[in-house]
Amino acid sequence: MSEKEIDSVTNVETTGHEWDGIKELNNPLPRWWLWVFYACIVYAIGYCIYYPAIPLIEGATQGLAGYSSRTELHQEMATIEAGRTEMLERIRQADVAEIQADPELTRFATAGGASAFKVYCSQCHGSGAQGASGYPNLNDDDWLWGGSIEQIAQTIRHGVRYEEDGDTRYSEMPAFGRDQLLPRADILAAAHYVRALSGLEHDQGAMDEGARVFAENCAACHGENGHGNKELGAPNLADALWLYGDTHQDIVSQINNPKHGVMPAWGDRLGDALVKQLAVYVHGLGGGE
Amino acid sequence: MTTVDHNGTAGSGLEQFDVQPVNRRDQQQPLYAPRKKIHPKRAEGAFRRFKWLVMLITLGVYYATPWIRWDRGEFAPDQAVLIDLYHRRFYFFWIEIWPQEFYYVAGLLLMAALGLFLVTSSVGRAWCGYTCPQTVWVDLFLVVERFVEGDRNKRIRLDKASMSASKAAKRVSKHTIWLLIAVATGGAWIFYFADAPTLLMEVLSGTAPSVAYGTIAVLTFTTYALGGLMREQVCTYMCPWPRIQAAMLDEHSLTVTYNAWRGEPRSRHQKQQQAAGVPAGDCVDCNACVAVCPMGIDIRDGQQLECITCALCIDACDGVMTKLGKPTGLISYSTFAAHDHNMKLAQRADGTIDPGRVHTPEGGIAPEVRHTTLRSILRPRTMIYFVIWSLIGVAMLVMLTTRGRLEMNVLHDRNPVSVTLSDGRVRNGYTVKILNMMPERRTVLLTIEDFPDGAMIMPLEKDDPRQAIFLDVDPDSLRAQRIFVIAEPGGLENQQTHFRFRVRDSAGSERAEYEAIFDNGGSR
């Protein structure tokens, strides 16, 4: 045992620790500090008994309080849901036009629709609803099946070419090439004519032939001037927006063997209130009619 | 107990106190020893009167401020000083601060820090001695204690006495009054955060928010504990301020000083000593300065960390000097520099003090003694602090008076950045946030500048693009408006077009602008 060393200036015992000639005094802890420390120990023991704390091989001690963070989360989620019921009920009662007329409901529906869109729609339409080749951009003013809020709600509810839903939007363009309904020369000419409709570069020599082929085969659905028909989901061929591309080759390919987009019917899966919220959100993106 | 005892009287009828300064260096106890209670005697004099005045003003400001009304029209609260946390507004008479203007508060903090430098370097620890809430509330609690239990001697006797009905009654009434003051202190605090009359009614009827009661409870506890029970320990053990302030004192800072050069050698038996030819200083060692000290120190030991410069010892000593017919100022506000100068005058070659050197034969103070003058306050260091402090203050005032009350922020949609419409035009979406910081409804004109090819429409609007849109903005609020800008891509030379949104008060001249970018949509 070493001698106790007493610091000459303060008359306090040192701990014997020394750094560059500076020695540590062995002053006691302040009493208030010590009592707080003891209180912390008591608190910690109480905490371990009251709350789940000690890890076991499977799980952990449950604690007297029966607390679990999972239960707490469920309770908080239930509280949030309960807080929303009134607004959701109002949305259920109203039709989409009425929702849009009410700023408070619109705000609620837009927020709800935006978050649901990210979960259910963004996989195809993109997180900003900007679409992709084959998947319509929902920000613009070009709507295959109609851009009024009722029409949008109808499309979301019953889907497009979704055979499990009897009310789904349905149309099918004949495969003019694959099924040999038109000779290849006619298809090429028609494609030039379609490009001409939107003011794109085209073969002037193919116009007469193209116009004839168009009038005989295409105008029934796409309209005499190619402006499309929303009843049939027939796209407007005279605008600047092309779902499957605007090159001559893209158009030939689409006439030859058309691609048809399919969208599921969401009405049964998401329920009426959420479909309406989605419709309000999509309609509000900027292109709604 | 060494602090307490009977009081003797000197020949002149002067009260002498047998009192030990409990916080004197060589008396300090180990940290585990219980605190020795201090029983400050009531002081009387100029500084005590000044302190009463300061107490009156500071407490008055604290309690009355939330009740001052200030008419701001129907759309803003009429409370002159209000920290509206819920709506994130701070009102100070004619000034209204929004969260993004919080740098004004940062400026105030800067001024407070420099003000501390300024005050400390010129008049020492004046903050501690006069205006610190701890000092003011301890003073207030001491008034109560004195009122209920009597002055120093009575309180010492009461402490020593065994418990009796009258002692219990005194203790109960003292603590009750203390608690009432504490409740009122905490109670006043909450009124800064909500409409005072409404909140008072709510508090009294039990319908106030729980945070209000919680705040009152916490502040009641801290006021009672810090002001009533802990007192000087707060300053010596808890508060960092004495350390900071002590570091800022220099030899020209005013501090409460025992002028040892004229007081020493102190003696209780002046006449006998003088008759015996032994020199005696002005200090009669009556300990009056120790008896009044709320910090439990003896100022005659020199500068100490505990001293809050409350100057009550000056009052006590001046009273004694006056009674004895000696010049006052044995304890005074002085500087280290003056004290050193005078000490050199008084000291003989061997270092002992000869009172004759600094006194006139009649007992007055010799003319070559240096006194505290205005020069100790007006010196380069304090002037520099003052100039910097004023510059910040003036800069803030200028900013405050010229700041805009109409502001705009614009967020450009990122996903998608641009949208091509069926007729080939390109559309960009923006969220235009217009801040109307006035408590009145305003109609503003939103325009786009430097963009002749562009035009705006609002969501769900008929396609009617235009360069100017009138918008109503609610009083004292932010309007976030979706705006679409549409342009012919043919007219755009570059991928991006730089332009400006401008918003202008349709009734006034105030305007705000925001630089924005229109994206052409690239090759699509």
In the predicted model, is pLDDT for residue B325 greater than 90? no
Averaged pLDDT for residues B206-233: 93
Using alpha carbons, select from B67, B14, B103 the residue that is nearest to residue B392.
B103
SS3 B496: strand
In the predicted model, is pLDDT for residue B433 greater than 80? yes
> Residue length, chain A?
289
Using alpha carbons, select from B488, B489, B471 the residue that is nearest to residue B480.
B471
Please report, rounded to a whole number, the percentage of residues in chain B having pLDDT higher than 90. 48
Amino acid in position B346: A
Beta carbons of B30 and A28 less than 8 Å apart: yes
Averaged pLDDT for residues B169-189: 93
**pLDDT at residue A94, rounded to an integer:** 93
Averaged pLDDT for residues B223-233: 92
Q: Tell me whether B32 touches chain A (CB under 8 Å).
A: yes
Return d(Cα B135, Cα B227) in angstroms, integer: 8
What pLDDT, in 10s, does the model give residues B502-524?
999 988 889 999 999 999 876 44
DSSP 8-state code for residue B516 = E
DSSP B421-490: -TTS-EEEEEEEEEEE-SSS-EEEEEEEES-TTEEEE-TT--S--BSEEEEEE-TTEEEEEEEEEEE-GG
**pLDDT at residue B30, rounded to an integer:** 65
The chain-wide mean pLDDT, for chain A, equals 92
- In angstroms, what separates the C-alpha of B225 from chain A's closest C-alpha? 14
What pLDDT, in 10s, does the model give residues A67-109?
888 999 999 999 999 989 999 999 999 999 999 999 999 999 9
In the predicted model, is pLDDT for residue B221 greater than 90? yes
Contacts of B422 in chain A (CB under 8 A): 140-142, 236, 239-241
What pLDDT, in 10s, does the model give residues B85-117?
988 899 999 888 898 888 888 999 999 989 988
Return d(Cα B486, Cα B181) in angstroms, integer: 66
Query: pTM for this structure?
Result: 0.75
Query: Where exactly are the structural domains of chain B?
Result: 37-247, 254-372, 406-519
What pLDDT, in 10s, does the model give residues B461-507?
777 889 999 999 999 889 999 999 999 876 566 788 899 999 999 88
Q: Is B295:B235 a contact under the CB 8 Å cutoff?
A: yes
**pLDDT at residue A268, rounded to an integer:** 93
Please report, rounded to a whole number, the percentage of residues in chain B having pLDDT higher than 70. 95
In the predicted model, is pLDDT for residue A20 greater than 80? yes
Q: Tell me whether B484 touches chain A (CB under 8 Å).
A: yes
**pLDDT at residue B215, rounded to an integer:** 94
Please give the backbone phi and psi of residue B288, each rounded to the nearest 5 degrees, phi first. -60, -35
**pLDDT at residue B491, rounded to an integer:** 58
In the predicted model, is pLDDT for residue B187 greater than 50? yes
**Greater pLDDT, B219 or B271:** B219
In the predicted model, is pLDDT for residue B9 greater than 80? no
Beta carbons of A239 and B422 less than 8 Å apart: yes
Kindly provide the ipTM of the predicted complex, given to two decimals. 0.80
Least confident range from B19-33, B102-116, B206-220, B383-397: namely: B19-33
**pLDDT at residue B1, rounded to an integer:** 32
The domain made up of B406-519 has a fold known as Immunoglobulin-like (2.60.40)
Place of tokens 């709320």: B294
DSSP A199-214: T----GGGHHHHHHHI
SS3 A69: helix
The chain-wide mean pLDDT, for chain B, equals 87
Beta carbons of B420 and A240 less than 8 Å apart: yes
Contacts of B521 in chain A (CB under 8 A): none
Contacts of B422 (CB under 8 A, 6+ apart): A140, A141, A142, A236, A239, A240, A241
Tokens of residue A144, six digits: 């295959």
Return d(Cα A168, Cα B49) in angstroms, integer: 91
In the predicted model, is pLDDT for residue A189 greater than 60? yes
**pLDDT at residue B22, rounded to an integer:** 79
Please report, rounded to a whole number, the percentage of residues in chain A having pLDDT higher than 90. 77
DSSP B310-357: --HHHHHHHHHHHHHT--S-SEEEE-HHHHHHHHHHHB-TTS-B-GGG
Q: How far is CA A44 from the centre of its chain?
A: 45
Amino acid in position B20: Q
Domains of chain A: 1-67 (no CATH), 72-167+263-283 (1.10.760.10), 184-256 (1.10.760.10)
**pLDDT at residue B492, rounded to an integer:** 60
Beta carbons of B423 and A240 less than 8 Å apart: yes
In the predicted model, is pLDDT for residue B31 greater than 70? no
Beta carbons of A27 and B31 less than 8 Å apart: yes
**pLDDT at residue B32, rounded to an integer:** 64
Contacts of A240 in chain B (CB under 8 A): 420-424
| A156: confidence class by pLDDT, cuts 50, 70, 90 | very high
